[in-house]
Amino acid sequence: MSNLSWDPIPPAAAALQQQHPQPFNTITATNFTTQLHAPPSPHTHRVLRKLQSAHNLGAAARNSSQSSLISQQILQESTPTPSLRGTLNRSPQRNRANSDAATPPTVPSVFPNNILMSLNNKRTALSRSLKAVDTMSLDRLVREGPPDGDVEAALESARLKVLDQGIRSDGDGMSRTRIYVWLIFLDAPILNTDEYLGLIHRGASPAYSKIRNDTFRTLTTDPLFRRRVSEASLIRLLNAIAWKLHDAKEERRPTSSRQSLVPADSVSSSRSDVSQADTSSSAAKNRARALTLTTEDSDATASEPGTYVQGMNVLAAPFLYAARSEVEAFSAFLTLLTKECPGYIRGAMDGVHRGLALVDKVLAIVDPRLSSYLTTKGLSAEIYAFPSVLTLCACTPPLPEVLRHWDFLFAYGPHLNILCIVAQLVLMRTELLTSINPNKLLRSFPALRAEQVKRTALAIIKMIPDDVYEQIVKHAL
């Protein structure tokens, strides 16, 4: 498991950058500086964490009908077993959840034996630590941090609390805790606010034109989102993300082939020229600043891999809705893109296409009849599931249910969204099988029901072969 710092959320950060409509480059806030922490552990540790979390998820699902998931987890870890069933013991030769069937042929482990032995030795200590954090509510656990500094036990307890109880929120899906739980699960670093402000003050990114073409249509039919999040806020966030991805891409290029960035004084000069073009109205000045540097060549630059892809606006929307500041939303969104699903925005979105292929594969395993019927109608996941894979189902209303769905995904891995899409198909199988034109039903998925989707996905996990599950874990990387 990767090292994770568990620092209390600074009070100043919560009040900074509230969701008020502001024109581009007009944010004013008190500078807030926090000690940055080391980035998460290397790629292999992230894969290990996902596999471990998924194993724990399957084990918890087996006992979901009993009184306490946390108590069952502790009981399970205290029972001797030849397989790796501890909280931190997840490997590709995963035993099937919800099943007492004989263990299938062992798949060679991708982890060295010394790592597996080390994980196995941690089970007893972690079980004792879970007893201490079990008595704390999720809100208190986030606010006060793990007792005795045991971050690993606190993380597993938090995951089980989300799985069993969910995150407390009102009818609109608003919660004072949710964004911090997401940041913890995503292992997002604490961000210096000045860094975000600096990205905004650089002006329009090379992807700015494409961003402006998408933001005005983001969740247009959702009154909750439109009431809380302004388009200006969404533009700022996406533009800052585009700058960050652009800079990372430039750093990977050879020095001789790097394109020079627009100097800051040039940006200021251009902004001044546009503002002076119409001095008759302050509103015109603000609009001019918002539209500064939307150049014709932005589209050509934005089409380069790893900068901005259509659909990122919908993926960013729940972060802005749940966060108490743009900085929090930026840190969580950037971490998701760069560490959890970089394949979704790289090249020709290869990660998304791998995910779509896995939707077809999993559906054929789980429900061969439904899979065959959709195939005869010429319906593959590439046709109907592309938005759901790319946006982690954020494209399917209502928004409060999307937030609850993301609670589950971030607790046990965004890769589980593949199983959740199949779960939605299973939930509507009767309508699909009796429809002469199922494509009409799949053009717009039924309203998301996060709890039912989660329970169905937990049942599906036991049916997935180990090699297919490993592909699901790694498809977005």
- What's the structural domain count of the chain? 3
* pLDDT, tens only, 185-203: 999 998 889 999 999 999 9
Q: Output the pLDDT for position 104.
A: 33
Q: Which of 290, 315, 338 represents a domain boundary (last residue)?
A: 338
> Which residue type is seen at 154?
A
Residues 333 and 394 in one domain: no
**Of 338, 369, 395, the domain-final residue:** 338
- Look at residue 187 and tell me if it is in a domain: no
Whether residues 416 and 439 share a domain: the answer is yes
pLDDT at 272 over 60: no
Q: What percent of the chain has pLDDT over 90?
A: 54
In sequence order, the 6+-apart residues with CB closer than 8 A to the CB of 275 are 285, 288, 289
Q: Please report whether residue 11 resides in a domain.
A: no
The verdict on residue 185 lying in a domain is: no
**Residues 330, 200 within the same domain:** yes
Give pLDDT, residue 173: 94
Helix (H, G, I), strand (E, B) or coil at 80: coil
Determine, yes or no, domain membership for 181: no
Measured CA distances, 433 to 31, 369, 381 (Å): 58, 9, 16
Does residue 411 lie in a domain region? yes
> Which of residues 322 and 84 earns the better pLDDT score?
322
Instruction: Give pLDDT tens digits for 210-253.
Output: 999 999 999 999 999 999 999 999 999 999 999 999 998 888 77
The whole-number average pLDDT for the span 114-128 is 42
For residue 66, give the DSSP letter. S
328 and 197 in a common domain: yes
Q: Could you tell me if 319 and 201 lie in one domain?
A: yes
**Residue 164 pLDDT level (bands cut at 50, 70, 90):** very high
More confident residue, 84 or 361: 361
The confidence band for 306, taking pLDDT boundaries of 50, 70 and 90, is: low
Q: Residues 362, 330: one domain?
A: no
Could you say which of 310, 338, 366 is where a domain stops? 338
> Residue 449 above 70 pLDDT?
yes
pLDDT of residue 355: 97
* Judgement on whether residues 307 and 356 belong to the same structural domain of the protein: no
Q: How confident is the model at residue 130 (pLDDT cuts 50, 70, 90)?
A: low
In a domain, 111, yes or no: yes
Q: Which of 114-118, 379-383, 440-444 has the lowest mean pLDDT?
A: 114-118
21 lies in some domain: no
Distance CA 153, CA 326 (A): 30
Q: How confident is the model at residue 456, as a pLDDT?
A: 97
Whether 470 and 385 map to the same domain: the answer is yes
Residues 227 and 357 in one domain: no
pLDDT of residue 57: 54
Residue 170 lies in a domain: no
Which residues span the domain enclosing 269?
Answer: 193-338
Distance between CA 227 and CA 225 in Å, rounded? 5
**Residue type at 247 in one-letter notation:** D
**Whether residue 198 is found in the same domain as residue 319:** yes
What amino acid occupies position 454?
K
Q: Is the pLDDT of residue 65 over 60?
A: no
Average model confidence (pLDDT) across the chain: 73
Task: Verify that 229 and 271 share a domain, yes or no.
Answer: yes
Check whether residue 85 and residue 202 sit in a common domain.
Answer: no
